[in-house]
């Protein structure tokens, strides 16, 4: 994991001190509410329906056990004993008091964390593949790149007052687990087909919200050393040309769409050519310095197969099921990556209590070199567990009711906080997630259905990523009544696709039946071994629509 | 309006000229539309010439007009509109070495953004200064003393400081390795 040097540490402390004075200056009237708003947003502080919400950055979703314990302490001392993991790999506290926020930020700085740019019209916290460093299909670990971007984008003097928010995601793998085509900028690390040199495919203009778009390739191959100057060129074109007359048309995806990908590419390349790259880029020594922090942990040399694991699987059915759904392959023999589902049946997706955080931190210390990942699916991952220890880990998780065996299944639902918390929401999301979770609670049935991603947003801003859910659910409001629109066929992976609207809106209580009907059509039509999304691609939306006529 | 730079409030030596106004005496800032017609006269009098640019100005279009300009003022219609920061960076990148001024309701917290992007000074309304006295501008600048971005800001970036530290320790190692 990355560790702060003296400069990083001082930088974050300075930002805390600045925010502390900004709060004081708001209270004494030096800053108007209009002036204070972007300043607090750039430090992750929202004013929600019932209270302030503080969003804490978990850069590229990597977290140490020490940091997780500190989050638990903050949850107990300043919140209501729980936190909410988000689709952007961050953590939100829903009940802090404004006067406490600077103290919370100091507690975060104690463990090398912050809330910088988790909100506001700036470059947001950078996200990455949650299996970074352990995935077998990886060309290069995306975290050093993400950390370099974190540093470069922090309090950028030029890019802190953009037309709108700006999100960057990085993957180093073939299979895209970071949804890079749904980001303002998506970076895919690859090898040049001719020379074998490492570089980036640069994708711009993806995004969800009210105008969902899949990103366009702006550069097929960017040499690795040019990263920061190329990002600067993209950001400058956007900062100068992005629309500011209408906040709903202000994201870079709209600019790319309106002038066309070709013209956008031309402007970026022109700006890039005018830039003095060497004065902007990080030198290779710096890149190596950062990369060294992400060296593999001290794995032991183990056989690929674990006899202990096989015996436990044979003896414990529930454990075997957990292994089937929540344990992923690891590039090092004898190890596995374990997904800890934060989606218990009937629970609030992504919520964790301080007690659970402490237990998970303890398990990370015991089984995974003290390191954790937050996934954009709102779950946690222990990325380096010895197969020999999987059963012991599962027993501990099970005792803490953290062993829900549903990763990627129909109850592994993504949901935004919705109208229960959010001031933008038009409808509730969490109760819909809970009712679906209860409807499909039966584990055997879930496994029979197989991988199926349901994503729920409580308004068109699409924080729950409904457009790229295999089944997407969007909560809206009309004449004071909440209703829900369903979409089918969305896909967040390298085959990124936006879902298609199924039909007219439904009342909240009709949603579980509707999803049930959709699932039944799939079960009836699927070929052997075919996942939901594959069947949908083959048969299209018509057979599903028929069920609703 | 009040004029502020890294060391505090300063006197404004330039007079701002409105689109339809007659030319005053002394150094002045002309709107972009007047620069071709009236600029030569100002220069001929031996006065310093400034130009005010909207933040939508295209660098390629205005660059040929900036040869003899001693000051460029860039419009910030709102403190939340960051286009002027990028325009300033482009001007510096293209090689403009004269005075660069941000004009508009920027707040104390943004002095570092302006200076970081190559501005020398900020001209902000009196109403902002009335709420945020000059001491707050200085304090804001002293609070955040570090920046990561190479090629921006005053002083070395964090990346360059790290490099300097690496080089110093490398030299030290070399010195130790040499026989006495």
Alpha-carbon distance of A371 to A65, in angstroms, equals: 6
Alpha-carbon distance of A386 to A174, in angstroms, equals: 25
pLDDT of residue A50: 77
Nearest by CB to B144, from A18, A29, A32: name it: A18
Q: What is the least distance, in Å, from the CA of B54 to any CA of chain A?
A: 12
* CA-based nearest residue in chain A for residue B107: A35
Largest Cα–Cα separation, chain B: 77
* Residue boundaries of the structural domains of chain A: 6-58+86-110, 127-291, 307-399, 414-546
Q: CB count, 10 Å around CB of A311?
A: 11
Q: Are A519 and A410 in contact (CB under 8 A)?
A: yes
Chain A residues within 8 A of B83 when measuring between CB atoms: 239-240, 244
The residue to which tokens 């001929």 are assigned? B44
Q: Which residues contact A13 (CB under 8 A, 6 or more apart)?
A: A109
Q: Which of residues 97-116 of B touch A (CB under 8 A)?
A: 107-109, 112-116
Nearest by CB to A7, from B87, B136, B158: name it: B158
Q: Which residues contact A295 (CB under 8 A, 6 or more apart)?
A: none
Q: Which helix (H) or strand (E) holds A231?
A: helix A227-241
Pairing of strands A198-204, A45-47: unpaired
Alpha-carbon distance of A132 to A121, in angstroms, equals: 28
Chain B residues within 8 A of A149 when measuring between CB atoms: none
Which pLDDT tens digit goes with each residue over B50-68? 999 999 999 999 999 999 9
Alpha-carbon distance of A235 to B144, in angstroms, equals: 23
Q: What is the least distance, in Å, from the CA of A53 to any CA of chain B?
A: 22
CB-based contacts of A318-321 (< 8 A; 24+ apart in sequence): A318/A398, A318/A403, A318/A405, A319/A390, A319/A391, A319/A394, A321/A405, A321/A443, A321/A447
pLDDT of residue A151: 98
As for the ipTM of the complex, it is 0.95
Alpha-carbon distance of A459 to B66, in angstroms, equals: 49
Q: What percent of chain B has pLDDT over 90?
A: 90
Q: Distance of alpha carbon A285 from its chain centroid, rounded?
A: 30
The residue to which tokens 């085509």 are assigned? A181
Nearest by CB to A157, from B81, B108, B117: name it: B117
Q: Is the pLDDT of residue B39 over 70?
A: yes
Q: CB count, 10 Å around CB of A303?
A: 10
Chain A residues within 8 A of B162 when measuring between CB atoms: 5, 7, 286, 289
Structure token pair of residue B112: 């570092």
Q: Is the pLDDT of residue B179 over 70?
A: no
Which pLDDT tens digit goes with each residue over A356-376? 999 999 999 999 999 999 999
Q: Are B98 and B89 in contact (CB under 8 A)?
A: no
Q: Which residues pair with A475 in a beta bridge?
A: A484
- What are the backbone angles phi and psi of residue A472, rounded to the nearest 5°? -105, 140
A286 contacts B163? CB cut-off 8 A: yes
Alpha-carbon distance of A338 to A336, in angstroms, equals: 6
Angle between helices A252-259 and A261-274 (to 10 degrees): 110
Alpha-carbon distance of A459 to A428, in angstroms, equals: 9
Looking at domain B2-145, its CATH architecture is: Alpha-Beta Barrel (3.20)
Chain A residues within 8 A of B109 when measuring between CB atoms: 18, 22, 39
Q: Which of A240, A242, A245, A267 to mutate to test the interface with B (most CBs of B within 10 A)?
A: A240
Q: Characterise A509 by phi-psi region: left (phi > 0), alpha (psi -120 to 50), beta (else).
A: alpha
Alpha-carbon distance of A520 to A535, in angstroms, equals: 12
Q: Which helix (H) or strand (E) holds B42?
A: helix B35-44
* B170 vs A: CB within 8 A: no
Alpha-carbon distance of A144 to A136, in angstroms, equals: 18
Alpha-carbon distance of A305 to A390, in angstroms, equals: 12
Q: What is the DSSP string of A428-446?
A: --HHHHHHHHHHT--HHHH
Q: CB count, 10 Å around CB of B41?
A: 11
* B154 vs A: CB within 8 A: no
Q: How many helices (H) and strands (E) does chain A have?
A: 19, 20
Alpha-carbon distance of A353 to A475, in angstroms, equals: 27
- What mean pLDDT is predicted for residues B140-153? 94
Q: Distance of alpha carbon A220 from its chain centroid, rounded?
A: 24
**Nearest-CA neighbor of A419 among A391, A461, A365, A451?**
A461
* CA-based nearest residue in chain A for residue B88: A158
Q: Are A494 and A174 in contact (CB under 8 A)?
A: yes
Q: Does domain A307-399 have CATH number 3.90.480.20?
A: yes
* CA-based nearest residue in chain B for residue A151: B148
Structure token pair of residue A447: 């496994």
Alpha-carbon distance of A540 to A521, in angstroms, equals: 11
Which alpha helices (H) appear in A261-384, and where do they start and end?
A: 261-274, 277-280, 284-292, 307-315, 317-326, 354-367
Q: What is the least distance, in Å, from the CA of B148 to any CA of chain A?
A: 6
* Residue boundaries of the structural domains of chain B: 2-145, 146-180
Q: CB count, 10 Å around CB of B77?
A: 15
Residues of chain A where predicted confidence (pLDDT) is lower than 50: none
Q: Are A58 and A357 in contact (CB under 8 A)?
A: no
Q: What is the DSSP string of B47-116?
A: --EEEEE-TT--HHHHGGGGTT-SEEEEE-SSTT-THHHHHHHHHHHHT--SEEEEES---GGGHHHHHH
Nearest by CB to A29, from B114, B131, B143: name it: B131
Q: Would you call A105 helix, strand, or coil by DSSP?
A: helix
A285 contacts B163? CB cut-off 8 A: yes
Q: Which CATH number fits domain A127-291: 3.30.413.10, 3.40.718.10, 3.30.70.270, 3.30.200.20?
A: 3.30.413.10
Q: How far is CA A3 from CA A362, A373, B161, in A?
A: 20, 16, 17
Q: Distance of alpha carbon B118 from its chain centroid, rounded?
A: 4
Alpha-carbon distance of A433 to A417, in angstroms, equals: 10
Q: Which residues pair with B50 in a beta bridge?
A: B29, B71
Q: Are A488 and A541 in contact (CB under 8 A)?
A: yes
Q: Are A411 and A446 in contact (CB under 8 A)?
A: yes
Looking at domain A414-546, its CATH architecture is: 2-Layer Sandwich (3.30)
Q: What is the least distance, in Å, from the CA of A81 to any CA of chain B?
A: 33
Q: Which of B109, B114, B134, B170 to mutate to test the interface with A (most CBs of A within 10 A)?
A: B109
Alpha-carbon distance of A347 to A356, in angstroms, equals: 14
Q: Are A34 and B135 in contact (CB under 8 A)?
A: no
Q: CB count, 10 Å around CB of A259?
A: 15
The mean pLDDT of chain B is 95
What 8-state DSSP symbol labels residue A173? B
pLDDT of residue A231: 98
- What mean pLDDT is predicted for residues B127-152? 96
C-alpha torsion A232→A235→A237→A243, nearest 10:
-170
Q: How far is CA B167 from CA A130, B151, B160, in A?
A: 35, 19, 10
């Amino acid at each position: 994991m990355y560790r702060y040097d003296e400069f990083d540490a001082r930088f974050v402390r300075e930002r805390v001190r600045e925010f502390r004075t900004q709060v004081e200056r708001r209270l004494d009237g030096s800053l108007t509410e209009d002036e204070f708003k972007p300043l607090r947003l750039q430090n992750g502080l929202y004013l929600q329906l019932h209270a302030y919400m503080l969003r804490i950055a978990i850069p590229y979703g990597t977290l140490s056990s020490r940091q997780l314990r500190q989050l638990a302490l903050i949850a107990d001392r300043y919140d209501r004993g729980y936190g909410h993991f988000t689709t952007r790999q961050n953590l939100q506290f829903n009940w802090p008091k404004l006067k406490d926020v600077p103290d919370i930020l100091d507690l975060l700085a104690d463990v090398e964390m912050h809330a910088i740019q988790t909100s506001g019209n700036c470059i947001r916290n950078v996200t990455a593949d949650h299996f970074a460093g352990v995935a077998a299909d990886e060309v290069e670990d995306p975290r050093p790149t993400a950390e370099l971007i974190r540093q470069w984008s922090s309090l950028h003097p030029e890019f802190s007052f953009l037309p709108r928010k700006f999100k960057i995601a990085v993957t180093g793998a073939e299979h895209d687990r970071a949804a890079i085509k749904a980001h303002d900028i998506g970076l895919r690390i690859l090898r040049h087909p001719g020379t074998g040199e490492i570089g980036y495919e640069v994708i711009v203009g993806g995004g969800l919200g009210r105008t969902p778009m899949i990103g366009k390739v702006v550069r097929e191959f960017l040499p690795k050393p040019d990263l920061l100057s190329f990002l600067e060129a993209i950001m400058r074109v956007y900062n100068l040309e992005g629309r500011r007359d209408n906040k709903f048309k202000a994201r870079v995806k709209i600019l790319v769409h309106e002038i066309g990908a070709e013209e956008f590419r031309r402007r970026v390349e022109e700006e890039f050519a005018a830039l003095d790259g060497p004065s902007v880029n990080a030198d290779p020594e710096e890149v190596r310095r950062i990369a060294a922090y992400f060296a593999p942990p001290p794995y032991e040399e183990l056989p690929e197969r674990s006899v202990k694991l096989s015996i436990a699987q044979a003896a414990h059915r529930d454990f075997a099921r957990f292994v089937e759904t929540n344990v992923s392959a690891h590039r090092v023999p004898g190890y596995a990556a374990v997904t800890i589902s934060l989606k218990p049946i009937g629970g609030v997706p992504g919520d964790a209590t301080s007690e659970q955080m402490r237990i998970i931190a303890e398990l990370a210390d015991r089984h995974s070199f003290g390191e954790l990942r937050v996934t954009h699916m709102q779950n946690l991952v222990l990325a380096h567990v010895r197969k020999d220890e999987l059963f012991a880990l599962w027993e501990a998780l099970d005792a803490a009711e953290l062993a829900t065996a549903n990763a990627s299944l129909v109850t592994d639902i993504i949901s935004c906080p919705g109208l229960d918390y959010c001031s933008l929401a038009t409808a509730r999301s969490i109760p819909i997630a809970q009712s679906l979770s209860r409807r499909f609670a039966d584990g055997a049935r879930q496994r029979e259905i197989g991988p199926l991603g349901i994503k729920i947003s409580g308004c068109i801003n699409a924080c729950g990523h409904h457009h790229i859910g295999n089944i997407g659910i969007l909560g809206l409001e009309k004449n004071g009544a909440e209703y829900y629109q369903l979409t089918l066929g969305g896909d967040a992976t390298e085959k990124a696709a936006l879902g298609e609207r199924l039909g007219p809106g439904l009342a909240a209580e009709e949603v579980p039946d509707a999803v049930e009907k959709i699932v039944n059509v799939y079960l009836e039509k699927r070929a052997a071994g075919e996942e939901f999304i594959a069947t949908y691609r083959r048969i299209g939306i018509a057979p599903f629509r028929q069920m609703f006529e | 309006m009040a004029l502020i730079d890294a060391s505090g409030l300063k006197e404004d030596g330039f007079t701002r000229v409105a689109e339809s106004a007659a030319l005053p005496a002394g150094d002045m800032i002309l709107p972009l539309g007047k620069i071709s017609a009236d600029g030569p006269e100002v220069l001929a009098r031996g006065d310093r010439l400034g130009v005010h640019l909207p933040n939508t100005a295209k660098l390629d279009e205005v660059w040929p007009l900036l040869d003899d300009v001693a000051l460029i003022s860039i419009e910030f219609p709102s403190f939340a509109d960051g286009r002027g920061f990028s325009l300033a960076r482009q001007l510096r990148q293209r090689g403009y070495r004269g005075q660069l001024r941000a004009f508009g309701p920027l707040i104390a917290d943004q002095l570092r953004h302006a200076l970081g992007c190559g501005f020398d000074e900020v001209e902000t309304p009196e109403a902002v200064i009335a709420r945020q006295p000059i001491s707050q501008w200085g304090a804001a600048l002293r609070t955040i003393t570090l920046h990561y971005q190479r090629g921006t800001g005053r002083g070395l970036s964090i990346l360059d400081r790290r490099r300097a530290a690496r080089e110093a320790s490398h030299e030290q190692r070399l010195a130790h390795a040499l026989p006495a």
